[in-house]
Structure formats: structure tokens, C-alpha cells
Structure 1
């Protein structure tokens, strides 16, 4: 297994450390990034790795190809075309897209890979930048069991949990559910903290009490204190969250499902974007209650 050759396409906030964990686990790793300077920096930090000039070059000799880019269009741009992953892929290679994208795109790419006698799985991740850096991401997968079994040991290099949820596209739908839950929890946490602050309670004490009860959550444990202090310069930006929520809304229309709370939170995020918080962590949602809306 350690002799497997892995390509990683996309060295963003998540992909950069994920690729590093693969190399540290003993895999042969070749990376590609649209901005070449990012690839050069990664190579300087990981001199045993390799860099490629195109997605095709990175993937051409790989047993497993992993991608993590921005959105559906970005995914298509690295998989298709003369310089794309599919252009010169070894027969039997397996591709895993870690981008949070649409379920329909996952099914499309799976069909394209099958025509090449290759495998494909959609594998969006949860855990944020810290999870990627610490190698403890959660990966939710969609695809065939036979392909999952082959790539699971590879993905464990940067994950604490890798689960096959269902057929192609199921991983993406599971990630949608994940983002909807986060949006709801953050809205509730924002309201709870605002009430506690307004009553003069010590938020550190409140957090210490609530985390042991039914209100306990990752957001409460990791974001309550920074929210109370007004610190948001880290983590998962609301620009990215709104992109993810838009995917949820599109899927909900197809399934005839109502998402009233998520739509409310999305509107609040849109207002915060207008106030200059586009790159702030999603926990900036608490600033919806500012008395001075221009603060």
C-alpha cells in the first residue's frame, strides 16, 4: 500500500496539509495547483514530493487521484480537457473528489470515469482547516464499495473517519446535511450567547456548563468564547458557507424539501458580507445582533 502513487490536485486551505499527510504516510505524492507558487512552496516544505504543471501530468501515473478545489466549475476544469485528469489516466485508477460540490456533478464524473475503466468517488470532508492540518478530517463518501475499499487506507492518512454513505452523489448530499446542521447550530448558539451576554452572564462559565448538557456541540466548545470576544479572523469563511448553502438549496428544490432556517441564516450571512465580513469565520453570525449595523 505504501508504494501507491497518489496525485493531489488543488493545494488550497484544505488540500495543502492533506497532501502533506499523504507524503508523511509513505505514499509517493505528486501535486498540482493552479497557482504554481503554491506548488513550489509545498515542495520546499515536502522535498520528497513532486509537482506537476497540469492536472494531467499529476495524474498520468497515479493509482489514486485526489482533488480539492472550489466549486463545480473548478472541478470540471481540472478533470476535463487536454490538460485534465481524465486526459491520460491509467486504467484502473481511482479518483476521489474532496470538493464540496453538487451531487449531480459527482454522478457525471463517475460516468466519465467508468468510460475510462476507472473508478470515482465523491468524498467531501468536514473538520475545517484545523482538521486538515491535524489529519483528523471526516470524509463522507459516495460510490462503489470496491473502489472505496481500495482508497480507504489512502484517505486515512489525513482522516479520523472515512465512511461510505451510499451510491455516487451520496457523499455530497451527506455534506449538505452537515452544512445545514452547522448553520442551524450557529444560529442557535448566536442567539443563546446574545441572551446570556445581555443578562451579564460570564460566557466562559456558560460554555463550561452547557457543553456537558444537551446543548453541547463542536461549535459551542470551539467557537463560543471567540464569538463572545468578537474574534472571527480564522476558520471557515462565510463566502464558502454561502457557496455550500447554495448547493443545499439547489438539491432541496430537486427533492421538494423546505429549508426555512438555512435560508434565514443565508440571508443573515448575505447582510454580513455587505458589512465586510466575507472572509470572516462562520461564527461571525453573532454580529447580526449588533446595535450599530456598521460596526
Structure 2
């Protein structure tokens, strides 16, 4: 396979995603702000590392990015060393960062001015989903660009869907985070109540998980929550960043999100407990810190 692709950002998500592209036979060119991380990637996968996003993107038909936030995304795309400076006309930029819909539209306009295609394509599934090639990808952009990119996205996804024009992928990811926030808080309160009532919480979950209360969070997090283990998964800091994006967008579109705003406040209390890097299921720790029934 001779198609050259670039991948910018080799964090816990980007590292395995870029790896799947390499294993699929694409010529992968990588950039990471911390060069040692790129060196680590090269020890595991075939490819080449470059000193700037522009150099990594030069000659690539597809350029992927998965970085931290809006400003990180601007830094790796626009400017003299940004990916757009190195991309050819007709190439396609695919952004996997969870960012605002506004920055997606802003960068799509900047890309279009250079004859570059743009898709916003945030992902869901966490580190495990990235490592297992089982992510859900929510895409915004032009259908032709989407069809071009889909075979590559399929390398590390179990589901890929085009939601509408640029920005739609980010808006869909916001819905995803709204739902997760409410589910995790509900599960935390349920487990907390079970212990307070003197029930065997694991036995309770074994029963209710077979009915309407079942969720991915329940199936995958209740045991670690009950054990007080939060050193895995999606960090509280990241969730608060995402919920901040959600609440800002809600101010613009008029959506009422009282539960989401409350859960965001609860996550700030988890941060105060020292849980900035704990998994999002650590909402349970906030409750057990108030009153411990273990």
C-alpha cells in the first residue's frame, strides 16, 4: 500500500490509532509534541517521525489529529509549522480531538482556503476502545470526504457515522458526554444507596444489570467502583474539559442541562479530593468520601 498518512498526537488514544493504520499497511508519518513518545511509537510500529506537524503532513493524502483541546488543535494545524502548511491541495484532514463545534468550523474554513478537505471526527470508547480497534466515530463534513476517509477510519472503529456538515461530529460527541455524565452519577448513587441499605452491592448489580438499568458503565465499572479503584479509563480532567464545551454550546443553542451542570460541579469536588486523573467513575468516591459504608 503506497498511501501516505500522517498522525498528529500520540496520546493514549492516538498512539494505538496510528498503530492500526501502520498495521493496515499505510505509510504512517507521526508527530508528537513530546518527541520521546514518537520514538516509543516507532519501537512498536512501522513509520517515520517528524519534528513538526507540517513536516509530518508533507506529501500525506490523509492527516489525522488527536490532541487535547481547541488551542492544541489550532497549534498543530495553522501557522508556519502547522499541518495545513505542509498539506497538498486535495488532501484531507481528519480531526479526532474532542473539541468545540466552533473550532471545527473555523479550521474547516481555513483548510478550504488552501484546497484541503476537513472532517471533524471525535471518538468514543476510551483507551480500551482505541487499543482494541473498537471506537465509535462521529463525523461531520462533506459526504465525499467522508467516503474517502471511511476505509481508514474502519481500521480502528467498530462504528463510523456521518452526522451532517462540519461541526456535527463534535455536537454528537457532546450528546455522548451528556449521557455518560448522567449515567455515571446515577450508577454512583445506586451503588451508594445499596451499601447504605445494607445490601450486597455486587449481588444487586448482578440482578439489575439483566433489566432496564443495564448500561456499559454498569457492566464495565461497578466492580472497580466498589473496590475504590480509579486508576484507569477516561480522566476526570478530560471529562470536565468536555463538559465545559457542552455547557458553552448549550448557552448558545438554548438547551437546558441542569443535571449536566450539577455533575460537572460534582467532578470539581472529585478534583478537590485529588482525583484529577482518576477515571470518571470516581463520582462514587465523592459519595463514599461524604459517608463511607464499606
TM-score by length of 2: 0.97
CA distance in structure 2 between the partners assigned to 1:52 and 1:209 by the alignment: 53
Report runs of 4+ in structure 1 exceeding 4 Å deviation: 291-294
Superposition RMSD in Å: 1.2
The answer on whether the counterparts of 2:192 and 2:288 sit within 8 Å (CA) in structure 1 is no
Q: CA deviation at 1:208?
A: 2.0
Does 1:190 pair with 2:188?
yes
The answer on whether the counterparts of 2:98 and 2:170 sit within 8 Å (CA) in structure 1 is yes
Judging changes above 3 Å, is the alpha-carbon distance between structure 1 residues 290 and 86 closer, same or farther for their aligned structure 2 residues?
same
Aligned pairs for 1:46-57 (under 5 A) are 46=45, 48-57=46-55
Task: Name the counterpart of 1:22.
Answer: 21
Aligned length, in residue pairs: 292
Task: Name the counterpart of 2:208.
Answer: 210
CA distance in structure 2 between the partners assigned to 1:204 and 1:290 by the alignment: 16
The answer on whether the counterparts of 1:203 and 1:225 sit within 8 Å (CA) in structure 2 is no
The answer on whether the counterparts of 1:252 and 1:259 sit within 8 Å (CA) in structure 2 is yes
Judging changes above 3 Å, is the alpha-carbon distance between structure 1 residues 113 and 208 closer, same or farther for their aligned structure 2 residues?
same
Task: Name the counterpart of 1:232.
Answer: 230
Q: CA deviation at 1:205?
A: 2.1
CA distance in structure 1 between the partners assigned to 2:291 and 2:193 by the alignment: 18
- Gaps spanning 5+ residues in structure 2: where? none
Q: CA deviation at 1:5?
A: 1.1
Q: CA deviation at 1:201?
A: 2.2
Match of 1:170 among 168, 171, 190: 168
Task: Name the counterpart of 1:4.
Answer: 3
The answer on whether the counterparts of 1:91 and 1:116 sit within 8 Å (CA) in structure 2 is yes
TM-score by length of 1: 0.97
Q: CA deviation at 1:115?
A: 1.1
Q: CA deviation at 1:240?
A: 0.3
Does 1:139 pair with 2:137?
yes
Task: Name the counterpart of 2:30.
Answer: 31
- Gaps spanning 5+ residues in structure 1: where? none
